[in-house]
Structure 1
Amino acid sequence: MSNIVVVFDFDKTIIDCDSDNWVVDELGFTDLFNHLLPTMPWNSLMDRMMMELHSHGITIQEIENVLHRIPIHHRIIPAIKSAHALGCDLRIVSDANMFYIETILKHLGISECFTEINTNPGYVNQKGRLTILPYHDFNKNSHDCNLCPPNMCKGLIIDRIQNTVSELDNKRFIYLGDGAGDYCPSLRLRERDFVMPRKNYPVWDLICKDPSLVKAEIHGWCDGEELELVLMKLINKITIEENAKFISSDCKLQTLSTPVFETLPKPLSVRQ
């Protein structure tokens, strides 16, 4: 395992669309969704839509079939597999839901690449309908972040991940995202970290307003091909830098551990 933690958003980062909209549109419930959209928070709306799908006889298998058709750039899976093969710790922080993400990752054959998925709970209840809950239960208490939606502050999740990683391990983060919700975690990264905002998407626009607010190095990308290129470049950059530090510290250690007798002047030779 390397010292690199790569954190991916999911919608419009790993996959090339919004999974919530994809399911609603593909199953023919766009009009109802648009009618209800102004009346409730997004996370609550998606749970309501799952109830509507169930009441209209849409099965879990039909939802899974729709998720299996979700669009994804052909270079995303190789990028994820390469980062995993290089020993990176891959995680997901997403405002989608667990059922969607696990279904898609399993279908794509990359579930084992990720050590952790942080998202809204999503599960099939006893009645056979998909239930979606908020990551932060905003009905009980607020996360007090004015940058994030009430159901999820990705910045708090990044804080927790950083806190669970020992400073002694010297972990370095690469964060990839596209949406406004990815701005808050970008602000939590440190100078030794990297953020990869998708160009011309909300998080890119927010960062561009004042890049000085972001401590991490900023590296944009526009599609899956550029994501792979930039991600591999950063992993290679970190690896070279960390190897150089290791070689440098090892040389110092060897210098300090040189036996005393090797540093003493040699005796003068005596002519016979």
Structure 2
Amino acid sequence: MAAGIVVVFDFDKTIIDVDSDNWVVDGLGATEEFERLLPTMPWNTLMDTMMCELHARGKTIHDVADVLRSAPLDRRVVSAIKACYGLGCDLRILSDANRFFIETILDHHGLRGYFSEINTNPSHVDADGRLRIAPYHDFHAGPHGCGLGICPPNMCKGQVLDRIRASAGVDKRVIYLGDGRGDYCPSLRLGRDDFVMPRRGFPVWELICEDPSLLKAEVHPWADGEEMEETLLRLVGRVLVEVSNKQMPQLDCKLESLPAVAAQDGALPMPMPLRIKN
């Protein structure tokens, strides 16, 4: 990717406007059972249990897919994804949902090909036709060892983001978008040249607001698809200008031949001096 920018999206309540797990459980009429079991097991284990319960009730994998295809996805989010891809950004997903849910929705909207990688809980359809959901980190074998105390046992997004950064290259700038508590850990791991886009009014925004000084990255909140698109494309444009400036040939003695008024009038593009936007 030529742009030198990696855009990492959470999925639930970030790309789509709902939680895909709740959307399926509610859509297939299993809300009461879900709420009864919720206090008894980790969320990831609960979703695997619920898929088995739905299968026992006669719901097929096609029924699950049909509900997923109806999940709301803001058209401005779609246009933001396509625009970033067109500008050369490397787009990746980092989500605590599961692969079947995410790929079904992306395929329905023709978006899967825009993402170079989907990092999420693995899933598969077993021989009996049941969707089985496994943890990203096998917490039964041992804890992921994050230590922050916020990440769920099945996934530390901060650790996954570290791997994404290593695979993308240290020279890449990262823009991270998310909404939930699990998105706080990766936000803390971003550097001064990176950007975090928390969804305003959601748990990750509230955690950031408790002490913004803990983050090195610039913070640019958003509330809906329109604001996400505008903010994301502005940040991508800003990075492209900064990269272009760095790639300009050294002027050295040629500076003497430049009219002084050129710099005064802003003829040379300048980076935007922003830190935190509220």
**Superposed pair shares fold, TM > 0.5:** yes
The equivalent residue for 2:164 is 161
* Partners of 1:148 and 1:166 in 2: CA distance: 25
User: Would the aligned equivalents of 2:16 and 2:72 in 1 still touch at CA under 8 Å?
Assistant: yes
Separation (CA, whole Å) in 1 of partners of 2:60 and 2:253: 66
Q: Could you tell me how far apart the structure 1 residues matched to 2:143 and 2:252 are? A: 50
Per-residue Cα deviation, 1:169-211 (whole angstroms, up to 9, x for no partner): x200000000000000000000000000000000000000000
**What is the match of residue 26 of structure 2?**
25
CA–CA separation in structure 2 for the residues paired with 1:157 and 1:39: 27
What is the match of residue 151 of structure 1?
154
- TM (norm. structure 2) is 0.89
Residue number in structure 1 paired with 2:193 = 192
Aligned-residue identity in percent: 59
Displacement, 1:252? 4.7
Matches of 2:112 and 2:211, distance apart in 1: 36
Residue of structure 2 in register with 1:174 after alignment: 175
Q: Deviations over 1:94-113 (max 9, x none)?
A: 00000000000000101100
1:251 aligns with 2:254: no
TM-score by length of 1: 0.90
Greater C-alpha radius of gyration: 1
- Cα–Cα, structure 1 residues 87 and 25, in superposed 2: closer, same or farther, change >3 Å? same
Q: CA deviation at 1:253?
A: 8.2
Which sections of structure 2, spanning at least 5 residues, go unmatched?
Answer: 255-278
DSSP-derived class of the 1:75 partner: helix
CA positional deviation for 1:135: 0.2
* Equivalent residue number for residue 137 of structure 1: 138
Distance 1:83 1:110 in 2: 12
3-state DSSP of counterpart to 1:142: coil
Q: Which amino acid aligns with 2:90?
A: D
CA distance in 1, matches of 2:253, 2:120: 47
Q: CA RMSD, aligned part only?
A: 1.1
8 Å contact kept, 2:144–2:156: yes
| Unmatched runs of 5 consecutive residues or more in structure 1 | 256-272
Quick one: distance in 2 between partners of 1:35 and 1:109? Answer: 36
* 1:218-269 residue CA offsets vs partner (Å, 9 max, x unmatched): 000000000000000000000001101111xx125897xxxxxxxxxxxxxx
Do 2:9 and 2:177's aligned partners in 1 also have CA atoms closer than 8 Å? Answer: yes
SS in 1 for 2:250: helix
Give the deviation of 1:147 after TM superposition: 2.2
Taking a change above 3 Å as real, the CA distance of residues 72 and 166 of structure 1, as seen in their structure-2 partners, is: closer
Q: SS of the counterpart of 1:28?
A: coil
Which residue matches 1:259?
A: none
Deviates more, 1:142-151 or 1:45-54: 142-151
Distance 1:252 1:143 in 2: 50
